[in-house]
Structure 1
Amino acid sequence: MTRWLTEPVPRGRVAAFRTLIYLFVAADLVLFTPWVRTRVAVPGELYQPLLIGRLLPLPTPTPAVVGVIFWALLLLALLAATGRAPRLLGWAVFALYFEWMIVAMSYGKVDHDRFGLLVALAVLPTAGRARHGDPTRTEAGGWALRVTQIAVVCTYFLAAWAKLRFGGLDWLTGSVLARAIIRRGTELADVIASVPYLLIVAQFGIVAFELASPAIFLLRKRWRLYTVGFFYSFHLVTFATITISFAPHLAAMTSFLPLERVRPLVWARRLAGRGRGPADDGPVDGAAPSAPPAPLRGGPAVAEPEPAGQ
């Protein structure tokens, strides 16, 4: 079990995952959860903190508190995405984002799509330093990615457990998806809803998929990647039909992917190099100048100029 939990991964993968997660945190503040800042307009007595918020001496949200969290978190997340001071910046980002989520989820609605992201933020500081493109393998980084993967799979499995715990078997045969389509469905969802019994079949399929999700750890690497692709396609269909994105969960799920192969800066340099003309290319540093091209077969030989004075 210890070998599985700490299976070494390239440091380049850890660096890429770290950059992606911290950039997502910055994007989350301005794109997905800017509404958290509006909580300060709600009377303080409506603030009912989660259990962790009751155990810790956290302040009631005010304009000053939420404003400080927002700007500090935005700045630190961008700095952490560079990979510098991974422990100091990593723990600071985790603490601030954790408080940001407590504020967001303490007014009656708790989203479960952020569990994997929070776990990723909690374990990334333990991975240590990592540079993009570094093939050296690290057990600490492997542990951080593995724990995030477990959190992602638990999100699916525990979602199915909650459905059966609170809804029972009636969740499978009820009108859960039908109500979701009525509330926030798209035109594609209307087409699907018109097919008899298809929504009931989909509800059985969703629960079966979520209950079977831990089996991904038993698959070989290639089939595991195919399964992750299926997970992403499931969320694509979900967004296309009832406009639920699960963006934080999708960001955490990249812990399954060989992110070290994705190097946008290298690709940009290659594309820029292809766009340059042959006259723009100078000799490589330290390389000998190339010899003149040989004459074409059957063509006239080019006479070399004689040295001066002869």
Structure 2
Amino acid sequence: MTRWLTEAVPRGRIAAFRTVIYLFVAADLVVFTPWVRTRASVPGELYQPLLVGRLLPLPTPTPTVVAVIFWVLLLAAVLAASGRAPRLLGWTVCALYLEWMIIAMSYGKVDHDRFGLLVALAVLPTAGRARHGDTTRTEAGGWALRVTQIAVICTYFLAAFAKLRFGGLDWLTGSVLARAIIRRGTDLADLVAQVPYLLIVAQFGIVAFELLSPVVFLLPARWRLAMVGFFYSFHVVTIATITISFAPHLAAMTSFLPLERVRPLGWARRLAGRDPVDVDTASAPPAQSSPGDQAPVVGRPAGP
């Protein structure tokens, strides 16, 4: 079990994953959850913090508190995406983003698509330093990715558990998707809804897919990537039909991908006519030939 949890991965994968996660945090502040800043104008008595907000001595949101968290978190996330000071900046982003989410979710609505992202932010500082393109392997980085993967799959599995716990079997045969389409459906969703019983079949399929999601850990690498691709396609359909993105969850799910192969800076150098230096080649000592490796010269006697 320990060997599986700490399966070594290339440091380049950690560097790329770190960049993806911290850039997403910056984008989340200005694109996906800028509405959190409006909480500063809500009367303090309406603030009902989550359990973690009640256990920790966190302040009631005020214009000053929210503004400081926003700007410091935005700057820290952008700097952390570069790989600098991975522990200092990593823990700073983790703490501030947790507080940002407590403020966001303490007014009556809690989104479960943030779980994997929060776990990723909590474990990335433990992965240590990593450079893009570095192929040397790290068990600490492997542990960080594995824990994030477990959180991603728990999001699916526990969502199915919640559906069956609170909705029972009626969730499968009810009008859950029909109501979602009425509230926020697209033209594509309207076409889908016209097919008899298709929404009921889809509800059975969603629960089955979520309950079976842990199977991804039992598959060989190639099939695991195919299943993760199915996960992404599921969310593409969700966005296209009922406009729910699960963007934080999708960012955390990149922990399954071989991100070390994605090197935009290297591609840019190639386009500019500059060949990037491979990390292994640059760090490896020059090869030295031994006398036994030299081929004999044709026509010359082998002896003295």
Give the gaps of 5 or more residues in structure 1: 275-280, 282-310
1:267-286 mapped onto 2 (5 Å cutoff): 267-273=267-273
Higher gyration radius (CA)? 1
**Equivalence for 1:159:** 159
CA distance in 1, matches of 2:271, 2:223: 32
Deviations 1:79-125 (A, max 9, x none): 10110110010000000000000000000000000000000000000
Indicate yes or no: 2:209 matched with 1:198.
Answer: no
CA distance in 2, matches of 1:168, 1:20: 37
**Equivalence for 1:108:** 108
1:123-272 mapped onto 2 (5 Å cutoff): 123-272=123-272
* 1:66 Cα offset (Å): 0.2
Coordinate RMSD, CA, aligned = 1.0
Relative to the length of structure 2, the TM-score reads 0.90
AA of the residue aligned to 2:201: V
* 1:270 Cα offset (Å): 1.0
Deviations 1:137-158 (A, max 9, x none): 0000000000000000000000
Deviations 1:196-222 (A, max 9, x none): 000000000000000000000000000
* 1:271 Cα offset (Å): 1.6
* 1:58 Cα offset (Å): 0.5
AA of the residue aligned to 2:272: A
CA distance in 1, matches of 2:244, 2:238: 6
* 1:42 Cα offset (Å): 1.1
**Equivalence for 2:45:** 45
AA of the residue aligned to 2:189: A
Number of residue pairs the alignment of both structures matches: 275
Indicate yes or no: 2:19 matched with 1:7.
Answer: no
AA of the residue aligned to 2:216: I
**Equivalence for 1:16:** 16
**Equivalence for 1:76:** 76
Q: Any runs of at least 4 consecutive aligned residues in structure 1 with deviations exceeding 4 A, and if so which?
A: none
**Equivalence for 1:285:** none
* 1:41 Cα offset (Å): 1.4
CA distance in 1, matches of 2:271, 2:188: 38
Deviations 1:168-193 (A, max 9, x none): 00000000000000000000000000
Relative to the length of structure 1, the TM-score reads 0.88
AA of the residue aligned to 1:104: A
Give the gaps of 5 or more residues in structure 2: 276-304
Deviations 1:203-256 (A, max 9, x none): 000000000000000000000000000000000000000000000000000000
CA distance in 2, matches of 1:116, 1:228: 15
1:77-96 mapped onto 2 (5 Å cutoff): 77-96=77-96
1:50-65 mapped onto 2 (5 Å cutoff): 50-65=50-65
CA distance in 2, matches of 1:62, 1:162: 34
AA of the residue aligned to 1:248: P
**Equivalence for 1:304:** none
* 1:272 Cα offset (Å): 2.0
AA of the residue aligned to 1:129: R
